[in-house]
A = this chain, B = another copy of it.
């Protein structure tokens, strides 16, 4: 398996990206990584390690899309960026998958531009993984499409079901529609219409509306929403966790007993933080794109990059794109116009 890695993408690139690639070689015996980016920078990092030289290649790209760049214009103007070049390698078939920890918006734009959508897919979606009291949850779309038609949401459910099976080996995933009430007829115009489409979608196991308050109870596997709502919920959960831990820390530091208590609870608090941190999964597939474009967290360390490469490898090995293409071919998705 040959996978391209955006060596210059992410907060700790190329240090952690190169290190992650080296680590991945150990775990995936058939893997070759093509490191895309400034040749001299990559070589400088590679010199730190001993590794099988036949399994690491460098593809020179002279520009870098920064985390702060405007996505659309960066993709268009920085033609020789590591991200663009990486996706061109996927497009031409020189690699079977790609991983980037770079600018999310740019990766979405570039993936759509270079790889195009799978035939029949109205809109690609960004997925994220949430913890729950039972098994993991996939929430989508979390930001690719701020404005959604109900048909888009219905397709997310079909794609999400296949994705859940691929990620977690669980078929017939329970699909819920993110809404502000559980009964049919609740919500806004979009969710009310999406409910009807989901109800008659025979490719999914639709169990109805799910409220964000109950989301993490784990009764639903795949939760679909328009990209505005999905992104809002993701960021609210992050913000709430951040708030709770910051107040906890502040209060703990006020008293000696608190400090001792916190010391005893340290492993538990660490475990809890780990549970809330989705970087364990390495990365998320940009779903509906005609090629494997995996987004790793911007703050990925080597471990995150290695995990993202493993995810990319699995999707490629299992020919996920072919399977999704087959499913979407049978899908009466409606017109392709927004």
**Nearest-CB residue, chain B, relative to A237:** B240
* A226 contacts across to B, CB distance below 8 A: 188
A273 CB to nearest chain B CB (Å): 10
* A247 contacts across to B, CB distance below 8 A: 133, 272, 275
A311 CB to nearest chain B CB (Å): 24
Contact B232 A212 (CB under 8 A): yes
Q: Is A12 an interface residue (CB 8 A)?
A: no
Contact B241 A216 (CB under 8 A): no
Contact B240 A252 (CB under 8 A): no
Give the distance in Å from the alpha carbon of A189 to the alpha carbon of B189 in the complex. Answer: 14
Give the distance in Å from the alpha carbon of A228 to the alpha carbon of B190 in the complex. Answer: 11
Give the distance in Å from the alpha carbon of A314 to the alpha carbon of B184 in the complex. Answer: 39
Interface size class of A (residues with CB under 8 A): 35 or more
Q: Is A317 an interface residue (CB 8 A)?
A: no
Set B178, B244, B264: member contacting A264, Cβ < 8 A? B264
Set B133, B147, B243, B258: member contacting A133, Cβ < 8 A? B243
Give the distance in Å from the alpha carbon of A263 to the alpha carbon of B260 in the complex. Answer: 11
Query: Contacts A143-B180, A229-B232, A232-B178 known; A238 to B213 CB distance under 8 Å?
Result: yes
User: What is the count of identical protomers in the complex?
Assistant: 2
Contact A211 B235 (CB under 8 A): yes
Contact B188 A228 (CB under 8 A): yes
Set B213, B216, B231, B252: member contacting A180, Cβ < 8 A? B231
Chain A 196-238 residues near chain B, CB threshold 8 A: 211-216, 226-229, 231-233, 235-238
Known pairs A178-B232, A213-B239, A244-B244. 13 more at Cβ < 8 A? A143-B180, A146-B188, A147-B188, A180-B231, A188-B228, A212-B232, A212-B235, A212-B239, A232-B233, A237-B240, A244-B272, A247-B275, A252-B265
Chain A 260-276 residues near chain B, CB threshold 8 A: 260-265, 268-269, 271-272, 275-276
A103 CB to nearest chain B CB (Å): 13
**Nearest-CB residue, chain B, relative to A228:** B188
* A255 contacts across to B, CB distance below 8 A: 268
